[in-house]
Amino acid sequence: MAASYDLVKYKISTMESFLTRNLVALGYDGDRESKNRGPFRSTAGLTKAAGIRAHDFVLDVGCGTGVVSREVARRLASLGLVIGFDFSWGAFSIAKSSVPSGHFVEMDAENIEMHEKFDRTVCQYGLMFFTELAKALVQLRALLNEETGWLAVAAHRTPQSVPYFRIAMDPVLRHIPDVKLTEAPNIYRFATLTTWKE
């Protein structure tokens, strides 16, 4: 029998899992993100789709180890700036060292404590994990420049199109099916255009 879904407990569990990520963030960055392997090959495409201009003020939501921020920084001139936030201090501490021109803070995307206005906001593989999606989107929308603001998001498609994770997860779900809470957010949450519209 599958475990019941409780939003608060799920959020606490997620925070605890990111505390574990603090301990492995360096290996995570070196193994996958910084080498543009697997799903992180989309980084250049995401920043291109965002239409980042040299002078833009850019927010990187769920910045992790700074892989997207690095690409953004390459597109910015001296008047541009990238700010990233993540609730994994281990991850964003790596971002600080790898993107010296950026600014990084520890923050939860569902409880944003910012009042600045951004020309572009980017989020790579983070939106689908938000437990209170509507709340987060309202907050992100409020941070966008009303005239020039864009939000660009990268999300996984179907399991078949993302073998990088499917190969790892299939055996787990086959032998421990209850590990996945059916009502909880998952990486395929925005797999189709229909789910985006909803």
CATH number of the domain bearing residue 148: 3.40.50.150
Is residue 181 assigned to a domain?
no
Q: How many domains does one find in the chain?
A: 1
Residue among 50, 39, 49, 43 at smallest CA distance from 66? 43
Task: Judge whether 145 and 66 are in contact, CB under 8 Å.
Answer: no
18 vs 1: CA distance, rounded Å: 27
Look up the pTM and report it.
0.77
pLDDT tens per residue, range 77-116? 989 999 999 887 778 788 898 899 999 998 888 889 898 9
End-to-end CA distance of the chain, in Å?
29
Task: For helices 7-28 and 89-98, give the axis angle rounded to 10 degrees.
Answer: 40
Per-residue model confidence as pLDDT tens digits over 20-71: 455 444 555 555 444 555 556 789 899 999 999 999 999 999 998 899 999 9
Domain assignment of residue 20, yes or no: yes
* Domain assignment present for 133: yes
